[in-house]
Chains A and B, each alone.
Chain A
Amino acid sequence: MIDNYQKTLITLFAIMLLALLATSIALFIMKIGIEPVDIAQHYMGNEETFIVKKSFEGLFETTAPHLFAITIMIFIVIHLLLFTNYKKYVPHLLAGLLISFITDMASGYFLIANLAFFAIIKWVSFLIFQFLFIIAIFLIISDIMRHKTI
């Protein structure tokens, strides 16, 4: 059983995490675009629309802090899920989150190496990551609200 304090802490933590995910989706759309074509142009550049190709250094500046931040967030969320009635889903969720996150991060490097196909892979892995993270957060919230067993 959890007390009111823990319930408040975890519920509001989950809401703040959802807000963080919302900002990351908004940033993705505003900076890169919605479709795989936009992703390819953002990384590989386009002379006609004056979009400059991303440099390795520029990409690395984004990758390094995200590797730290997203791994910590995955650790916290999965760690909380282990105390819920949904712990049987943890191995699948963890694998899905880590694979989609690493694929998303790595795709940028393949794109600047002119492998345009990775635009689709980046797009799909980004969507899968966001979807799985939202599912994980909702599982935590639903467990707290229904069973009070976290």
Chain B
Amino acid sequence: MKFTVSKDLRNNKVMRNLLIAFSTIMLLFLALDVTNKALRFGSTITDIKNSFLGNEDEFIEPLSAISALEMVHLDLFIAILLILLIGSIFMRIDTKLKTPFLAITMLLSIISFASFLASVFFSEAFVIISVTSFLAWHISASSMLFVSLSWLLKKP
């Protein structure tokens, strides 16, 4: 993990290109993750509520507790690795805002997973929090990647 110890990665051409490619693909992943969830659960709050909690009138089965937990289990693993890696690149950027930015991204992702489970297990009131925090942490992580990309593309 050379990039965790090298101070200015932009001086190393191979490392720089590698991180540019990595950041670009991760941006694509974040966009596809949102698309994937929108296709699976719907893109309006009503559709999402129906997918999570079911709807007897429209014969939609609710999401089972085990399916919800399995989804969180897998997505949380991906989010942990993703944020850890994005955070390690973002660390190099010289701005006072980087710590609050990172904290907000990580906290939003935790809130997103917790509120998703709360909406399935406890109350439909958590659906809006779940959707909002899910979108917010994806936007926040994408912004971190955009800032990192612009820093990597700049000449040292």
Contacts and interface: CB of A to CB of B under 8 A. Distances in A.
Contact of B102 (A8, A19, A20, A72): A8
A67 B48 CA distance: 33
Given A5-B98, A19-B110, A27-B66, 5 more contacts: A12-B110, A15-B110, A19-B76, A20-B76, A27-B73
Contact of A27 (B69, B83, B109): B69
Given A8-B103, A30-B69, A16 B91 contact: no
Contacts of A17: 80
Nearest to B76: A20
A131 B5 CA distance: 31
A76 interface: yes
A5 B77 contact: no
Interface string A57-92: 000000000000100110010000000000000000
A16 B66 contact: no
Interface bracket on A: 20 to 34
A26 interface: yes
A147 interface: no
A13 B77 CA distance: 11
A9 B91 contact: yes
Interface string A21-54: 0011011001100000000000000000000000
B72 interface: yes
A84 B77 CA distance: 24
A114 interface: no
B138 to A, nearest CB: 16
Contact of B70 (A8, A16, A27, A73): A27
B5 to A, nearest CB: 12
Contacts of A12: 102-103, 106-107, 110
B65 interface: yes
Contacts of B114: 19
A23 B84 contact: no
